[in-house]
Amino acid sequence: MHIFYKSKISGLNKTDQANLNKIENVYKILNSDYYKKQNSDKLSKAAIDGMVKELKDPYSEYLTKEQTKSFNEGVSGDFVGIGAEMQKKNDQIMVTSPMKGSPAERAGIRPKDVITKVNGNQLKEKH
């Protein structure tokens, strides 16, 4: 994995270009002048991981091309269910959000609704 193909990327403002130049220069120095041989793929991954971590967003992550392909294959195709995102909260199943156009949305299910029955069957409490 190599990130820095060109020394100048078009469409960036001067500040962004200067920041990319700093990253590129450090990358080159570590790759060529550091006293221990470095793995360029690991350096690139560490730089990317650091940038994503700096977002301080638990839902953001970098996926490689292979990971993206695997993820897309995992979420493509037919879905079964009511079409709602849910979470367990206080030992209850709560709707986070119904998906647009889903059976849940058409049935009037809204965020914060609590699911108590499935197909007419009462959900059992876990003891």
What pLDDT digit, counting tens, does each position of 8-35 carry?
566 789 999 999 999 999 999 999 999 9
Classified as helix, coil or strand, 38 is coil
Which are the contacts of 45, defined by CB distance < 8 A and separation ≥ 6?
1
Nearest-angstrom CA–CA distance, 75 and 116: 27
Say whether pTM exceeds 0.75.
Answer: no
Looking at residue 101, what DSSP letter applies? T
Q: Where are the domains of the chain?
A: 14-74, 84-119
Q: Is 22 exposed, middle or buried (0-12, 13-18, 19+ CB in 10 A)?
A: exposed
Whether residue 23 contacts residue 7, with contact meaning beta carbons closer than 8 Å, is answered with no
Range from 26-40, 82-96, 97-111, 113-127 carrying the lowest mean pLDDT: 113-127
How confident is residue 124, by pLDDT bands cut at 50, 70 and 90?
confident
Nearest-angstrom CA–CA distance, 37 and 115: 57
